[in-house]
Each structure stands twice: as structure tokens, then as C-alpha cells.
A = this chain, B = another copy of it.
């Protein structure tokens, strides 16, 4: 692991962790998209990451303590990636980032509805979501029924927008 830093400034050190074009995209897909496998991350993100970059970033994020990797018991060569607490606590930052982007950048409606719902939910919703992630990724106990999760709420919002925008063009989901 790299141990020489440009400076001990918290903002600088944070940038050294995810101040590149892909790390935060991968974390976004794991956090909000529920992606856990290499292929899901490779094919699932609309930005189209290359497989060598993905492999490199996953390795790097593991070295930095943001992710862990484990064998999938159901499939000998399948690896399952998990968020650590360090990564889960990025949720408020991602929420703020999404809110900022919605205001200032040419976002598309489908892809920003999740950010809008998360912004409206505010810190209580972020806390609830982080608890869900702890349950999914760290095995922490949870008392939320699966159909009442924050992720399900966000996904339902996304699908409502898609249905409203192009009701006649919908087909079976690609994923």
C-alpha cells in the first residue's frame, strides 16, 4: 500500500482515495445499485468501465480498506465484493454530491431521481440506508422488511420515471 501522501490535509487524503474518474463510480454502483460481482460492475454501469481499470480499482479500494473480497459459496470462481464501514459512511457525501450535481449540471431525469429522493429523505433516510448496507455487507442485524428498504424506494422512483417517460417503448429489462 502506498504510504507517501502529498499532504495530511483531510480533503487531499480523501481525494487520494477516490479523486479519480472511476473509484467513486464503482462505489456508487455497489451502494445504490447493489452490485457485488465483477461482471455486474463491468456491464452494469452506464459509463462503461474497462475490465482492466475495474480490476485495478477493486484491488486498490481493497488495499485502502474500502472493500473486501470473499468467495461466493454458490460458485467456485465467483468473487463477492463487500463494502466496509469506511465505504458505507460515504453515503452522506454521495447524497450531497448528487444534490449539487442536480442543481448545477445537465443531469438526466431518470438518473437523478434517486438523488432527488435521497436529498428529500435527508439525514434520517441516509442513516436508514447505511444501516441497510451494514446488514447486507457486514452481516449486521436489521429489522427492515426487504420490501421497505431505502434501495427499494429509490428503485421504485427510478422505474416510475422510466414508465412515465416512455410507457410505450418499454420492454423486458435488460438486466
Interface set of A (CB-CB < 8 Å, partner B): 5-17, 19-21, 24-25, 28, 46-48, 65, 86, 89-90, 92-94, 96-108, 110-112, 115
- Complex contact B7–A115 (CB within 8 A): no
**Selected A-B contacts with CB under 8 Å, 13 pairs:** A7-B108, A8-B107, A9-B46, A10-B97, A10-B107, A13-B105, A14-B97, A14-B100, A19-B20, A20-B20, A89-B103, A93-B97, A93-B100
In the complex the two chains form, what is the Cα distance from A22 to B44 in whole Å? 29
Chain B contacts for A7, CB-based, 8 A: 46-47, 108, 111
- Taking the closest CB of chain B, its distance from the CB of A110, in whole angstroms, is 8
CB-based contact B12/A47 at 8 Å: yes
* Contacts known (A14-B105, A17-B105); A8 close to B89, Cβ less than 8 A: no
Q: How far is the CB of A162 from chain B (nearest CB, A)?
A: 13
A30 CB, min distance to chain B CBs, angstroms? 13
The CA-CA distance from A13 to B25 in the complex, in Å, is: 10
Residues of B within 8 A of A92 (CB): 96
A84, chain B: closest CB distance, angstroms: 9
Give the shortest distance, in Å, between A12 (CB) and chain B (any CB): 6
Query: Measured between alpha carbons, how far is A46 from B13 in the docked complex, in Å?
Result: 13
Q: Smallest CB-CB separation from A49: which chain B residue?
A: B6
